[in-house]
Amino acid sequence: MPVDRLGDECRIAEQCHAAERHVGPALADEMFEMFFKLKKVGKTILLVEQYVQPALAVADRAYIIDQGMAIHNDTAARLLASTEIQERYCGM
């Protein structure tokens, strides 16, 4: 990847990280819309998110970390379909 494109992607990541610290529900929705757009054009995103359900909606693959341990990893679709994941992490 050309260095200038890498720099642009790093700046986007920095902006997202800075915005995330001050996010209300409306802005969080806008951020996930942006994540879907980036995914649609083939960009890879490393997302660390405490709200499992919206994170799994945008992810292809996910790792669920609980108390510092990766306790689940699979495709996002499989994790979201899991009754255990829904009950424990999605509040269903």
| 44-85 pLDDT per residue, tens | 888 888 888 888 889 999 998 888 899 999 999 999 899 988
| 19-44 pLDDT per residue, tens | 555 567 777 888 888 989 999 999 88
Would you give the distance in Å from CA 12 to the centre of its chain?
14
Q: Which residue has the tokens 């890498």?
A: 6
Whole-number Å distance between alpha carbons of 47 and 53: 13
The CATH code belonging to domain 3-89 is: 3.40.50.300
Report field, pTM of the whole predicted structure over 0.75: no
Helix ranges (H only) for 41-75 are 52-58
Q: Domain locations in the chain?
A: 3-89
